[in-house]
Amino acid sequence: MSIIQLKGVSRTYVMGKETLAALDSVNLDIKEGEFLAIMGPSGSGKSTFANIIGGLDKPSAGTIIVDGEEINKLNDRKLSKYRNKKIGFVFQSFNLLPTYTALENVMVPLILSGESSKIRRQKAEDCLKSVGLDGRMDHKPNQLSGGERQRVSIARALVNDPQIIIADEPTGNLDSKKSEEIVALLKNMNRKKKITLIVITHDPNVAHEADRVVQMHDGKIGRAT
């Protein structure tokens, strides 16, 4: 069963007198619980693809159906709720608030969803424990290693029990050992919680762990393996 369907999705940008097609009539179905890797050279449209599924950007044309809902038709309020409840984001640069502790960073999405302070803390603690950071909850990002910061980012992505996690180059700032650990953690969450996992990556070692690999080039979907 498909949880995500892209039908003729395009995203164009006007730069001066030139129109750039970041996505060009993309058609793709992603199954519920699938671990999908998206590969391709820089500028191929991978991040635009991720941003559109995640509701961070809107297509210029086409239809995006997520869990039976056409998200390209949602207004800003409903789109914000969609991002907060249904999607978990993991970024290459971690995107952690530097003055917040690991625990406070993980609680941020729960503040946006209106949970009580007691429930926020309990859920955030549980998520940090699930990624192996039991003893680092009160540490700020500059007191954590790159791998630990990415684990905080994953805990934050998980805290609202999303159906989908979108990870954009999640190992890009990590050495090979830490990269393996992060991919293993994401894969475990994908299997254990049946979360649909979409990973944008340049790394063939990361892609090797996926159920399916889709190649992008010049905004188009190419070979799938």
Q: How far apart are CA 11 and CA 24, in angstroms?
A: 7
**Within-domain flag for 25:** no
**Within-domain flag for 12:** no
The pLDDT value recorded for residue 111 is 85
The pLDDT value recorded for residue 105 is 96
At 159, is the secondary structure helix, strand, or coil? coil
Of 1, 44, 22, 35, give the one whose Cα is nearest residue 222: 44
Tokens of 97: 């608030």
Q: How far apart are CA 59 and CA 28, in angstroms?
A: 14
The pLDDT value recorded for residue 38 is 96
**Within-domain flag for 11:** no
Domain, as residue range, for 217: 33-58+74-224
Q: How far apart are CA 113 and CA 76, in angstroms?
A: 15
**Within-domain flag for 108:** yes
**Within-domain flag for 6:** no
**Within-domain flag for 18:** no
**Within-domain flag for 146:** yes
The pLDDT value recorded for residue 223 is 65
Give the count of domains, the chain.
1
The pLDDT value recorded for residue 43 is 87
At 143, is the secondary structure helix, strand, or coil? helix
**Within-domain flag for 200:** yes
- Domain with residue 86: its CATH number is 3.40.50.300
pLDDT (tens, 9 = 90+) of the chain, 225 residues, equals: 899 999 999 999 888 888 889 999 999 999 999 999 999 988 899 999 999 999 999 999 999 999 999 999 999 999 999 998 899 999 888 999 999 999 999 999 998 777 788 999 999 999 999 999 999 999 999 999 999 999 999 999 999 999 999 999 999 888 989 999 999 999 999 999 999 999 999 999 999 999 999 999 999 998 666
